[in-house]
Amino acid sequence: MSSDNKKFGATTPGKRFMKLAGMSASIAGNFARNRVKGMIGTLTEEERTREREQLFMQVGEQIANTLGEMKGAVMKVGQIASQFKDVFPKEIADALVKLQQESPPMPFGVIEQQIMRELGKKPSEIFAEIDSKPFAAASIGQVHRARTLEGDDVVVKVQYPGVDACVESDLKHLRMALKLAGVLRVDKAMLDEVFGEIRRSLHDELDYVQEAENVRVFAAFHASDPKIIVPRVFDNYTSKRVLTMAYEPGDHISKVTAPLYSQEKINELGHRLFNAIGAQIFELNAVHCDPHPGNFAFRPDGSMIIYDYGCIKKIKPEIVESFRKTTNASLAGDYHALEKALVEMGVRNTENAPYIDADFYAPWTSIILKAFSEQPYDFGGSRMHEEIVARARKNLKYWDAFQPSADTMLVNRAIGGHYWTMKELGVNTAFRESLLRTLRTGVAP
């Protein structure tokens, strides 16, 4: 076994399949025992619900632990899946959140070899200095600080060896394992679309030349706001599996606190984030889709640094318009128009429920629009996520009326993820005016 692959819990497609198959067999056994227990008929409905939730929590932990050990592409899929509660039961998606945590790093010797393969020289010949301790480590690569021979402070993102070779087999085997385990909640056609989108996203993230191009596009787009910082790419030190960018330091979200950051400055950062993501969606028609807290940093002057441009979703113009229509319809309380826009977007399954009346939509829009009223909304104290869960439990009979859409799931991942960004920042301000201005973005006068 080469040292390149020692970091993975299973190193070949066959071994990785066996590990996933073992996981699915164990999960399937747990579900079978649960079904038998339910057939006995001694449990109340409340007890059945509690048993189901407990089972899904255990299954989620098992999936998260297995994918965390395997790392690579399959772990990345688990990270993405943690955002998609419409594909997995909520308890399983919640357990997968642990995969968002920073991963144990690779030995620096392996990183040096990868840089040599990609750039043709030893790191010591390319950089005046490079830190052997990683600045950050994730599922498919890690980042090291360095200084170029010209004296520029940079970060060097290095992809783990062998990750790209396992993508197709990992996706195929993970899908098979999850299907056998019985934890996927969408039909085959929709699952094909969802995994197709995940496959596209993964291949994009594994191509650092493409990521470098994404950086240039977003840097040009945000150039008019000097307080949105996109680190520049150093092309001479970049290849398909090595990406070198300027070192742009900032405070992690957990450090954005008083006295360094006043509430006024935090609110400014909240508006800057909201406006940036809104403009990306409605004007650029492409959005940064990885809301992980490590991909955003902040400065006391109100600046925001956006890192990691591997996961970028280009949005079809008609889908952008559907987002605009759904938001405008919600603001106007026009639930017929909202229903129509959701059908156009592909998230309303009219086969299972041809029509849904206003009584269903009104409570949902009431919950969400509280954050976008003309009065300040306290994201720090928000319980919107709990209200959404409670409302979902009351609307279980409508479950089959909605489905994930490959066109929107990554965009929703970004939007939903930044609710938690706003909450952790402690933003407390009014967003109605910003929302209305965003909805006008990209519309011809």
350's CB contacts (< 8 A; 6+ apart) are: 343
Q: Up-side HSE of residue 355: CA atoms within 13 Å toward CB?
A: 3
Exposed/middle/buried for residue 1 (C-beta within 10 Å: 0-12, 13-18, 19+): exposed
Phi, psi of 162 (to 5 degrees): 85, -5
Q: Which helix (H) or strand (E) holds 298?
A: strand 296-298
- 89 alpha-carbon distance from chain centroid: 17
Catalytic, out of 86, 207, 290, 308: 290
CA–CA distances in Å: residue 378 to residues 288, 370, 436: 25, 10, 19
Let me know: does 293 contact 316? Beta carbons within 8 Å: no
Q: Kind of pairing, strands 127-130 and 141-148?
A: antiparallel
Let me know: does 371 contact 377? Beta carbons within 8 Å: yes
Q: How far apart are CA 289 and CA 218, in angstroms?
A: 13
3-state secondary structure of 138: coil
Q: Is 290 a catalytic residue?
A: yes
Residue 137 token pair: 């480590």
Number of Cβ atoms within 10 Å of the Cβ of 408: 20
Number of Cβ atoms within 10 Å of the Cβ of 111: 24
Candidates 170, 168, 100; CA nearest to 138 is 100
Sign of the four-CA dihedral 46, 49, 53, 58: positive
Q: What is the DSSP letter of 93?
A: H
CA–CA distances in Å: residue 408 to residues 57, 89, 193: 27, 19, 11
Q: What is the CA radius of gyration of the chain?
A: 23
- Tell me the catalytic residues: 290
